Amino acid sequence: MANIKRRASVRIRPHEAGLKLLDFLTDRFTYKNRNQWQKSIVAGSLRVNRKATISDRILECDDTVEYRPPEQPEPSIDQDFTILYEDEDLLAINKSGNLPCHPSGRYFTRTLWYLLKNTKNLDYMGMINRLDRETSGIVLIAKNKEAARCCRQQFERRTVQKHYSVLVEGPFPKEPIHARGMLELSAESEIRKKYKFSPIPSDEENTAAGKFCETIFKNQDRFKEISLISAVLITGRTHQIRATLNSLGYPVVGDKLYGVDETIYLRFISDQLTDKDSRRLRIPRQALHAAMLRLEHPTRNTPMTFEAPMPSDMLKLMENDRSNATSSASQVDKQWR
């Protein structure tokens, strides 16, 4: 593991003036809870205007709050990625299921962004879509600002086609499921960033500002204990596929957060996963793969389709459950054409 040393700073905005430092950190940076931020302040990891501070410090407008996290090992990753397509405007990548797209949290140098930055001589690199670290498949990168603008406009207009291959727990219904509803933070969960999906009538989209999501799920194959399905994204919300499938009763195989037991996620973030947890997960990462992406080329105005074949770990999982899984997966790879 590589050691990483970083600093992050933020300037206090007018509406944040008057808050205590601890309240500000807890409300704005929710990846740590209140007790964790308190410990960081006591440990001297926080500065206000470059000076040591206390949790009750009253912040003023334009104060600079700096976070100096302790050096920590950067976790190992699977650096495997392949270039599916490249021209003067676009770069399409097929990434592995253990590779963060962008620096965040404990990851910085071991990210797709950093790897590309050091292997490709790009003046500009804008990631149009980002996948979770544990999601494999297609990542589209714009090589200039105009290409990025055109591609992002297509995502905003919902004209981009996005298809995923997913392995889920249990026998998925033969009939397609058209899931339309709301994604909201789950009040029942111990985990602050976990969402739940609630169906809504088809005429209520306009009342679901910013949280409406829509996905079409289709059964592709059934195995002994799991099913292979396709997921077609109509919208593109955070955790949309995983949260929706969990709420429908078909959690993604290997999903620590939205899977068979959320306490697995709590043990995972504490580096306390057990052998029993690994057996229940079936696979070290969530079995979610961005298989196809279709959009209009930003400068040529021609349709472009990118496809990423089923990854080996998902193939192996299917093969272990049924002998003809390989042929089934081949059919899925062809279905987007």
Q: What is the pTM of this model?
A: 0.78
pLDDT grade for 276, boundaries at 50, 70 and 90: very high
What is the token pair recorded at 263? 């306490």
Residue 328 has pLDDT above 70, yes or no: no
Q: Which pLDDT band, with edges at 50, 70 and 90, does 102 fall under?
A: confident
Q: How much is the pLDDT for 201?
A: 74
Statement to judge: residues 208 and 253 lie in one domain: yes
CA distance 51 to 94: 45
Burial degree of 211 (CB within 10 A; 0-12, 13-18, 19+): middle
63 and 165 share one domain:
no
The pLDDT score that the predictor gives to residue 5 is 59
Looking at residue 326, its pLDDT comes to 47
Question: What's the mean per-residue pLDDT of the chain?
Answer: 90
Residues 205 and 69 grouped into a single domain: no
Q: What pLDDT shows up at residue 204?
A: 61
User: 117 vs 132, 141, 143, 218, CA distance in Å?
Assistant: 19, 12, 12, 37
* Residue range of the domain that includes 289: 81-334
Which residue has 């052998």 as its token pair? 275
Distance CA 70, CA 217 (A): 43
Residue 45 and residue 163 in one domain: no
Give the Cα-Cα-Cα angle 294, 160, 291 (nearest 5 degrees). 45
Q: Positive or negative CA dihedral for 239, 237, 101, 86?
A: positive
Whether residue 258 sits in one domain with residue 120:
yes
Q: Domain with 207 in it: what CATH number?
A: 3.30.2350.10
Whether residues 223 and 250 fall in one domain: yes
